[in-house]
């Protein structure tokens, strides 16, 4: 009789432990899904920022090239005007 009671107690404790572990794993899965969503959003935002920075860099590079071209054109005009005088 005592052994039967011990077995029943062991089974009840095991079932309670299984239920607790299942609840904890479900909570962990929900939290991991939330974190995954946040990481995806951050990734999307970082790609958009990278595109904006790339466009800004291209524009700055184009401005630099056009600035050099404008400076060379002005220098050539000054050189030619001094040759004429």
DSSP-assigned letters across all residues of 1-70: -HHHHHHHHHHHHHHHHHHHHHHHHHHHHHHHHHHHHHHHHHHHHHHHHHHHHHHHHHHHHHHHHHHHHH
Q: What is the average pLDDT across 59-71?
A: 71
What confidence score (pLDDT) does residue 20 get? Answer: 92
Give residue-wise pLDDT tens across range 17-39: 999 999 999 999 999 999 999 99
pLDDT tens for 73-83 read 888 888 888 87
pLDDT at 64 over 70: no
Q: Structure pTM?
A: 0.53
């Amino acid at each position: 009789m005592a052994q039967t009671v011990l077995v029943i107690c062991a089974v009840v404790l095991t079932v309670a432990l299984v239920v607790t572990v299942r609840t904890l794993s479900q909570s962990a899965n929900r939290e991991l899904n939330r974190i995954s969503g946040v990481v995806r959003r951050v990734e999307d935002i970082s790609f958009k920022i990278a595109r904006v920075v790339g466009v800004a860099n291209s524009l700055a590079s184009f401005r630099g090239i056009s600035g050099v071209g404008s400076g060379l054109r002005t220098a050539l005009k000054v050189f030619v005007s001094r040759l004429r005088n």
